[in-house]
Chain A
Amino acid sequence: MHPDHTGGGTTVHPQDSTQGSGVAQPGSGISRRRLLAMSAAGVASPLVADMSAIRLLRSPALAAELRKQERRVILLWLAGGASQFETWDPKPGVKTGGPFRAIPTDVPGIHISELLPGLAQRMRHTAVIRSLNTKIADHGTAAELMECGRRNDPSVRFPDIGAIVARELGRLESTVPDYVSLYTSTEGRRKGTSGFLGARYSPMFLSESMTPPNILRLENLTDVDHHDRAALRDALARRFTAESRSLAVDSHLSAYQRVQGMMASADLFDIGREPESVRARYGSTQFGEQCLIARRLVEAGVPFVKVARAWWDSHGQNFETHQELCADLDHCMSALLDDLRARGLLEHTLVITLGEFGRTPGINASLGRDHFASAWSCSLSGAGVRGGVAYGKTDKEGHTVVEGEASAGDLFATILASLGIDPEHEYMLGSRPVPLADFGSAPISEVLA
């Protein structure tokens, strides 16, 4: 379990050096002297070789800069695949264009679908990428591709964008969760994965309930008992942790040390604590409420929040479906952008709309559109993004990308670059280098601030 330091990259095992800090104070009973005596086993701290410490030392300026900027991400995951025609890349008047009009935005020359009137008035904060060609058009594999920025491999479990951002932007000492994933609908429900970055960065996942699982203390245990029991656990754990010299074992310690902080963050999920006027702006839909939770979370320092809005898979009645879902997206995302901006958070927060793919130019007999990954769109707003840009181009009827083709890896590199994270930085997975963005990808500089 001892990582080899291979120089070039970062060894995966980003454990926080927590040893020796914050011995939990027992409330009563077992003495502090006893606890200290047990910890003074005379074993040298195994964390001298903590790779994350080395990594931070490697580039203190960069680390400090990132922390200072306090960048965060809200990913609005349009699960099932939203239509680019009915959102960011309208083609009114052509055979494939569908019935909706394109409307002007607050940025001259850029038109988007009339279904997004609110976002059209906020285009100056947003860069649209209209030239994604990600090739894979089945839900599961495509979702994995767009979450992780590359195809999976049975020998390596890749982390998704949330885990990478949590890892790169999260504060090790943070008591709030650093990756929260909300996905309430059952269709296509995906939790997200931290892959080889390890469970320290796996998402806090909320599905049916907007109270995170296991975050509240059981009623039959008092607060004091809960604390004391944890202190006893810590004390009895100390010898094993010290002797084992294993980063995996250390992660056990830090996981338990985060319990109290996580429990204290339960309030972040309670939108009842927001003024009625703020709640009204987000509206009463589930997506609106979850966007508000996302804002509360990033405001509290959570670096990555994913809000899934399912389910856009409009094989039948594409236009009716988009009338509903785009109205929801337009209203809630507009409220979110305004709220972030009013709080001075938009310049720190990247808001992404993305799904697993777009939808076919062809309109089927059910007036639906089917899965399509060859020429579709996504959007980036806020932090690190050059707003008011429409990057890339599809052909007249939207069948192919004709300008600025971007892969999932390119989009990943762009997202990372907009956050100030070097997409070429490599994690070392044993002896295997894994760049943050896939081999061969590059950021789209045109959409970066």
Chain B
Amino acid sequence: MQQSEPSAGRTPETVKVVTTHPLPAIPLCIAPADSPGVAFLGMSDFAVHRIDLAADKPEAKPIGEARHGSYVTGIVRAGGTLISGGYDGALIWWDAAAGSVQRRIEGAHAKWIRRLALSPDGSRVASVADDMRTKLWDVATGQCVAEWGDYDAKTPHGYPSMLYTVTFSPDGRFLATGSKTGLILVREAGSGSIAARLEAPVMYTWDPKARNHSIGGIRSLAFSSDATLLAVGGMGKVGNIDHLEGASRIELFEWQAQSRRAEIEDTKYKGLVEALRFGPGDGWLVAAGGDNGGFVSVYAATDGRLLAQEKVGNHVHDLALAADGASLVAVGHHQISAVNL
């Protein structure tokens, strides 16, 4: 990743994959380090890895001996501390440099942890899990400082629901979460009171006739820097739910007005939108995800117009966008790619 001065007015015209490196396991989440080109990855081998893309032969290596009990699905970095969460329901605080464990909270959630989000001031980490709880943790002490429910444990069709994703607004005031069935809750991060309740039901496909189960869910959320816009990522309605064959889908909300500014569906690059970020200046947003194959797409935040896109190897699970918006690192199935915008 190249660091350069933020350029608020610049809008990407192309997406170009610069390099792609294979990985020994599936990276499910990424947190960039301070040094350019270095990132921490939560992976399917239960470990947190460090990789230096600037190296001759970039190689992902576990940062320490400790392991989660399952896939590592959320990772954030607060200064020299990494916090990871996994499908084992545990949270681990790591010394990012030494790779040692500073704190380990087993049973942080009763079910799979799906995502972590760090508050902009670095003091709080939010976690969401399939126990349908949203929890707020003190980064320094590891204390759970708040906990919210408000989601149904089951889908309307009687199956376990899932709480896939969480994000803070850049000013730290709001926290948004999104569920399998398409319910988005925006809360005051301080009080926990619900500031908005939004629905994106198209993201959830229930097939009562052919296959008798479901697919989909809200997989990604992003606030614009002024926190007025909330982008919601997932997949459109799916015909054959054996495959990720729905259109990739983003809904753009002016959430305080409860109004949907744009609905974006892309059938060229299908599948789940797994990660979303607004570019500097909020003029555009970048989405990544995929079916078997992966993609990175850039859309105008004003009306959802497609600005640029590119195929990126395999299905992308997460991305880290450089502060200047000129590049990103996408982690996908057994691979990591550096991408210029």
Contacts and interface: CB of A to CB of B under 8 A. Distances in A.
A334 to B, nearest CB: 15
B112 interface: yes
A365 B289 CA distance: 11
A143 B259 CA distance: 49
Interface stretch (B6-14, B118-126, B209-217, B295-303): B209-217
Interface stretch (A184-192, A221-229, A241-249, A415-423): A184-192
Contacts of A367: 26, 315, 333
B27 interface: no
Contact of B44 (A99, A101, A365, A366): A99
A365 B293 contact: yes
A321 interface: yes
B308 interface: no
A159 to B, nearest CB: 27
Contact of A185 (B88, B158, B209, B244): B209
29 contacts: A80-B211, A95-B45, A99-B44, A99-B70, A99-B71, A99-B87, A101-B69, A101-B70, A101-B88, A184-B212, A285-B158, A285-B159, A286-B212, A311-B212, A311-B213, A314-B242, A316-B244, A320-B215, A323-B130, A323-B162, A327-B159, A327-B160, A364-B333, A365-B293, A365-B315, A365-B332, A366-B271, A367-B26, A368-B243
Contacts of B46: 93
A214 to B, nearest CB: 23
Contacts of B213: 311, 321, 324-325
B159 A363 contact: no
A100 interface: yes
Contacts of B242: 80, 311, 313-316
Q: Say which size band chain B's interface belongs to.
A: 35 or more
Nearest to B334: A365
A99 B315 contact: no
Contacts of A320: 162, 215, 217
B12 to A, nearest CB: 25
Interface of A: 80, 92-93, 95, 99-101, 184-187, 283-287, 309-311, 313-317, 320-321, 323-325, 327-328, 363-368
Contact of A99 (B112, B243, B294, B334): B112
A286 B210 CA distance: 13
A367 B292 CA distance: 8
B25 A95 contact: yes
A341 B71 CA distance: 38
Contacts of A309: 212
Interface in B57-108: 69-71, 87-88
A257 B315 CA distance: 61
Contacts of A311: 210-213, 242
Contact of B315 (A184, A323, A366): A366
A100 B69 CA distance: 9
Nearest to A323: B160
A361 to B, nearest CB: 13
Nearest to B316: A365
B327 interface: no
Interface in B111-166: 112, 130, 157-160, 162
Contact of A365 (B112, B215, B333): B333
Given A93-B46, A95-B45, A365 B314 contact: yes
A108 B78 CA distance: 44
* Residue in A285, A286, A324 whose Cβ sees the most chain B Cβ within 10 Å: A324
Contacts of A101: 69-70, 88
Given A99-B112, A328-B159, A185 B211 contact: yes
A354 B245 CA distance: 28
Contacts of B44: 95, 99, 363
B113 to A, nearest CB: 11
B215 A366 contact: no
Interface in B264-294: 271, 290-294
A95 B332 CA distance: 16
Interface string B158-187: 111010000000000000000000000000
Given A187-B211, A287-B212, A317-B244, 5 more contacts: A99-B87, A185-B209, A310-B211, A316-B243, A366-B271
* Residue in B69, B213, B271, B333 whose Cβ sees the most chain A Cβ within 10 Å: B213
A321 to B, nearest CB: 6
Interface string B214-226: 1101000000000
Nearest to A308: B212
A288 to B, nearest CB: 8
A63 to B, nearest CB: 40
Contacts of B215: 316-317, 320-321
A186 B209 contact: yes
B17 to A, nearest CB: 16
B90 to A, nearest CB: 12
Contact of B291 (A93, A100, A316, A321): A316
A186 B210 CA distance: 4
B168 to A, nearest CB: 25
Contacts of A286: 212
A313 to B, nearest CB: 5
A285 B158 CA distance: 7
A366 B243 contact: yes
B210 A363 contact: no
Interface string B32-57: 00000000000011100000000000
Contacts of A328: 159
A115 to B, nearest CB: 10
Contacts of A80: 211, 242
